[in-house]
């Protein structure tokens, strides 16, 4: 197979190749748009690069099997303003101590409210304290404002039952209470309570070069090229990785490649195949309508060798840095009296990270000091596998141990019966951190991990309640579907574990009968993506919506387990759900506890009164990984 620049006489062959997947291009651009692009003579012509790949058949005749259209005509400022590209160096080359240009760019971002800031007792107390009421008549009876806020209200009729409150004051207290309720309900129904729009400023720095600050200097400092079109013959699709290698060879001075998928168009077959080597870029709140979906990849993701190394003493600080991530440089205050904790958007993240780092410290100490530790810790590095760990860049780590509870999953999860026979060792991933650019290399990481640990089946258990650990590869693991029908509750005793030495680390084991758990699995099978053929928009997040989304997520699952036995089945849903603000957050909230009801079965706030087919969509699944939820109200349907 050979790659070469496209020529004007390739026009008919390229258009015939494109017409299979993108017939609209010919209607939009005409019959000779490839020849016209190749023969351009204007100043922007050199920014486009058209490449074709050819193979020779048995008769030594060349056949065109691939077409690539790349360009460097990219407006860097547009992507900085409308997408979160700071993690990718704002798509420009590093300064490295050289002279640079400096620009200030205002941008918008959205900060989600933490779970502890929404429906917990402390959060609602803070919301009640923020309520400012005016114009209400007040009778001074010696009762303080604080005592007004602590009056008891009957949960049946809404009447005030405090015995020390006089009858004259009950009317005004009731009016005050109802006014507060109205304010609180309006706040809980507003989008701003769950999503906060922040106006920030980005310091856009790029090398000065020979040009003055402006468009020419930004183009010279650009570190990215755009894959404008890729079309391959159907029998060539599995070899598209070679095409990505060729793209980076065409631009040896650029480290990033981006790809756009229009919001109102369906991605063609070649695009979907190539997406496994790209990661999505988060868009910012913007006034630009119909922003395209942006996907990005890095040169190191394609050319770098990923290797796993056993934990050494000098790797402890590396694991700490990777575990803390963006919060490593932020001060984590345990006791803060200046402001209420419920308004800190990262309170959940900080608390979970503190607990996780504490557990990681104990595990790493056990691994380094105990030769027969049940845990195994590896650092994930990128570079040259033939060199030592110090000469490779750390991009992640993984902590795991042997998984012994596989048989207890059959009562609640859809697993094949032949899985009961233990043929190979299984592992439970405790924690896994990985740089987002290398998530596409999940298969390589799991295979190298299997080679070094002799585990061939990997599980990750994420509880709905309690402490959760991080796994950056769970999106690349197959979610085990909960059983759709439970004729009767299934209870069993938690097996008594074998006696362990006193110095052995004990992590709490989940109760597979009573706890709500999300089970992820990877059996070293090749990845196969499943998606819906057309983009869907659903209004409302009702029980019917949940049941329909569950069918889409597990469209690969069947009674004979044909797909799950042979592939790592991953779902890619092109679905947008529009619902009222707070509905999704309330369904997935695990911190709310009703202060009045002792049992959730009789509580009218409980959402667990539906069938298990629907209920498991919020406690044994998380649709937020596949579905785009948009808070809002429907005004019109065309």
Return the CATH number at 57.
Answer: 3.40.630.30
Asked whether residue 299 falls in the same domain as residue 315, the answer is no
Asked whether residue 520 falls in the same domain as residue 399, the answer is yes
Q: Of 159, 193, 227, which residue constitutes the final position of a domain? A: 193
> 14-23, 456-465, 505-514, 594-603: which has the highest mean pLDDT?
456-465
Contact assessment for residue 495 and residue 242, using Cβ atoms and an 8 Å cutoff:
no
Residues 6+ positions from 53 with CB-CB distance below 8 Å: 1, 2, 3, 64, 65, 66, 67, 68, 236, 243, 246
Asked whether residue 52 falls in the same domain as residue 16, the answer is yes
Average pLDDT (343-350) is 53
Contact assessment for residue 51 and residue 246, using Cβ atoms and an 8 Å cutoff:
yes
**pLDDT tens-digit readout, 272-298:** 888 888 999 988 888 888 888 899 999
- Lowest model confidence (mean pLDDT) among 4-18, 124-138, 612-626: 124-138
How far, rounded to the nearest angstrom, does the alpha carbon of residue 51 sit from its chain's CA centroid? 34
Higher pLDDT, 348 or 613: 613
Q: In the structure encoding, which two tokens stand for residue 261, read together?
A: 């998928």
Q: How many other β-carbons are positioned within 10 Å of the β-carbon of residue 367?
A: 18
Q: Determine the pLDDT at residue 340.
A: 34
Name the domain count of the chain. 4
Return the CATH number at 511.
Answer: 3.40.630
Asked whether residue 320 falls in the same domain as residue 292, the answer is no
The answer to the question of residue 199 being in a domain is no
Asked whether residue 480 falls in the same domain as residue 530, the answer is no
| Size of the chain in residues | 638
136 pLDDT higher than 50:
no
Q: Are β-strands 62-71 and 224-232 bridged in parallel, bridged antiparallel, or unpaired?
A: antiparallel
The answer to the question of residue 462 being in a domain is yes
Q: How many other β-carbons are positioned within 10 Å of the β-carbon of residue 169?
A: 20
Contact assessment for residue 311 and residue 363, using Cβ atoms and an 8 Å cutoff:
no
Range of the domain at 482: 305-524
Q: Of 502, 524, 546, which residue constitutes the final position of a domain? A: 524
Asked whether residue 532 falls in the same domain as residue 599, the answer is yes
Query: Across all residues in the chain, what is the average pLDDT?
Result: 80
- If DSSP codes are grouped into helix, strand and coil, which group holds residue 269? helix
DSSP code for 288? -
Q: Of 303, 322, 357, which residue constitutes the final position of a domain? A: 303
The answer to the question of residue 200 being in a domain is no
**pLDDT tens-digit readout, 296-318:** 999 988 888 899 999 999 999 99
E-assigned strands of 234-387?
256-261, 279-280, 293-298, 305-310, 375-383
- If DSSP codes are grouped into helix, strand and coil, which group holds residue 482? strand
**pLDDT tens-digit readout, 319-339:** 999 988 765 554 443 333 333
Asked whether residue 542 falls in the same domain as residue 433, the answer is no
Exposed (0-12), middle (13-18) or buried (19+): which is 348, by Cβ within 10 Å? Answer: middle
Is pTM beyond 0.85? Reply is no
DSSP string, 19-83: HHH-THHHHHH-S-HHHHHHT--STTGGGEEEEEEEEE-TTS-EEEEEEEEEE----HHHHHHHB
How far, rounded to the nearest angstrom, does the alpha carbon of residue 169 sit from its chain's CA centroid? 53
Asked whether residue 101 falls in the same domain as residue 216, the answer is yes
The answer to the question of residue 47 being in a domain is yes
Q: Determine the pLDDT at residue 190.
A: 86
The answer to the question of residue 111 being in a domain is no
- Percent of the chain past pLDDT 90, that is, above it, reads 28
User: Which residues are registered as beta bridge partners of 377?
Assistant: 399
Average pLDDT (31-60) is 84
- If DSSP codes are grouped into helix, strand and coil, which group holds residue 580? coil
Asked whether residue 420 falls in the same domain as residue 346, the answer is yes
The answer to the question of residue 298 being in a domain is yes
Asked whether residue 494 falls in the same domain as residue 568, the answer is no
Contact assessment for residue 462 and residue 491, using Cβ atoms and an 8 Å cutoff:
no
Res. 173 pLDDT band, cuts 50 70 90: low
Asked whether residue 485 falls in the same domain as residue 622, the answer is no
- Percent of the chain past pLDDT 70, that is, above it, reads 82
Q: Determine the pLDDT at residue 636.
A: 76
The answer to the question of residue 100 being in a domain is yes
Asked whether residue 295 falls in the same domain as residue 309, the answer is no
The answer to the question of residue 386 being in a domain is yes
């Amino acid at each position: 197979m050979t790659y070469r620049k496209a020529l004007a006489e390739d026009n008919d062959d390229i258009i015939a190749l494109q017409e299979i997947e993108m017939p609209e291009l010919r209607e939009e651009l005409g019959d000779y748009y490839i020849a016209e692009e190749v023969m351009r003579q204007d100043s922007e012509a050199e920014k486009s690069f058209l490449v074709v790949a050819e193979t020779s058949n048995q008769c030594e005749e060349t056949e065109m099997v691939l077409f690539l259209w790349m360009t460097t005509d990219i407006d860097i400022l547009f992507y900085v303003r409308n997408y979160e590209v700071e993690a990718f160096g704002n798509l420009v080359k590093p300064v490295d101590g050289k002279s640079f240009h400096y620009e200030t760019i205002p941008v918008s971002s959205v900060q989600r409210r933490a779970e502890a800031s929404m429906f917990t007792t402390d959060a609602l107390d803070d919301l009640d304290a923020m309520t400012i009421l005016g114009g209400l008549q007040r009778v001074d009876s010696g009762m303080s404002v604080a005592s007004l806020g602590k009056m008891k209200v009957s949960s049946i009729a809404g009447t005030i039952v405090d015995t020390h409150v006089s009858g004259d004051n009950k009317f005004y207290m009731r009016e005050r209470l109802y006014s507060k309720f109205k304010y609180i309900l309006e706040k809980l129904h507003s989008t701003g309570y769950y999503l906060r729009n922040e106006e920030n400023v980005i310091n856009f720095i790029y090398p000065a070069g020979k040009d003055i600050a402006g468009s020419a200097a930004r183009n010279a400092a650009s570190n990215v090229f755009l894959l404008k079109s890729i079309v391959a013959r159907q029998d060539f699709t599995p070899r598209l990785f070679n095409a990505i290698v060729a793209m980076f060879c065409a631009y040896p001075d650029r480290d990033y490649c981006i790809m756009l998928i229009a919001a109102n168009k369906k991605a063609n077959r070649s695009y979907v195949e190539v997406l496994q080597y790209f990661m999505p870029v988060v868009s910012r709140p913007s006034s630009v309508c119909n922003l395209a979906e942006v996907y990005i990849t890095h040169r190191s993701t394609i050319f770098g060798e990923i290797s796993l190394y056993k934990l050494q003493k000098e790797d402890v600080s590396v694991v700490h840095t990777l575990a803390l991530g963006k919060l490593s440089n932020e001060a984590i205050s345990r006791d803060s009296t200046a402001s209420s904790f419920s308004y800190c958007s990262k309170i959940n993240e900080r608390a979970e990270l503190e607990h996780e780092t504490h557990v990681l410290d104990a595990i790493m100490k056990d691994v380094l000091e105990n030769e027969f530790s049940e845990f195994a810790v590896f650092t994930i590095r990128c570079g040259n596998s033939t060199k030592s760990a110090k000469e490779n860049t750390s991009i992640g780590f993984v902590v795991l141990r042997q998984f012994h509870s596989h048989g207890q999953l059959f009562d609640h999860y859809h697993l094949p019966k032949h899985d009961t026979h233990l043929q190979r060792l299984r592992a439970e991933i405790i924690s896994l951190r990985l740089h987002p650019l290398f998530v596409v290399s999940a298969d390589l990481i799991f295979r190298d991990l299997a080679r070094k640990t002799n585990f061939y089946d990997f599980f990750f258990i994420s509880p709905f309640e309690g402490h959760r650990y991080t796994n950056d590869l769970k999106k690349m693991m197959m979610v085990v579907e909960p059983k759709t029908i439970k004729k009767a509750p299934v209870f069993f005793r938690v097996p008594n574990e074998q006696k362990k030495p006193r110095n052995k680390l004990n992590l709490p084991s989940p109760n597979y009968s009573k706890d709500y758990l999300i089970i992820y699995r990877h059996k070293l099978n090749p990845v196969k993506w499943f998606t819906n053929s057309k983009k869907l928009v659903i209004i409302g997040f009702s029980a019917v919506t949940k049941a329909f989304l569950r069918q889409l997520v597990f469209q690969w699952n069947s009674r004979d387990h044909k797909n799950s036995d042979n592939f790592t089945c991953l779902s890619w849903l092109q679905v947008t759900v529009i619902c009222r603000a707070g509905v999704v957050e309330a369904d997935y909230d695990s911190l709310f506890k009703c202060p009045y009801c002792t049992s959730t079965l009789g509580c009218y706030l409980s959402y667990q009164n539906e069938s298990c087919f629907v209920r498991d969509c919020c406690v044994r699944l998380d649709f937020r990984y596949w579905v785009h939820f948009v808070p809002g109200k429907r005004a019109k349907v065309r």
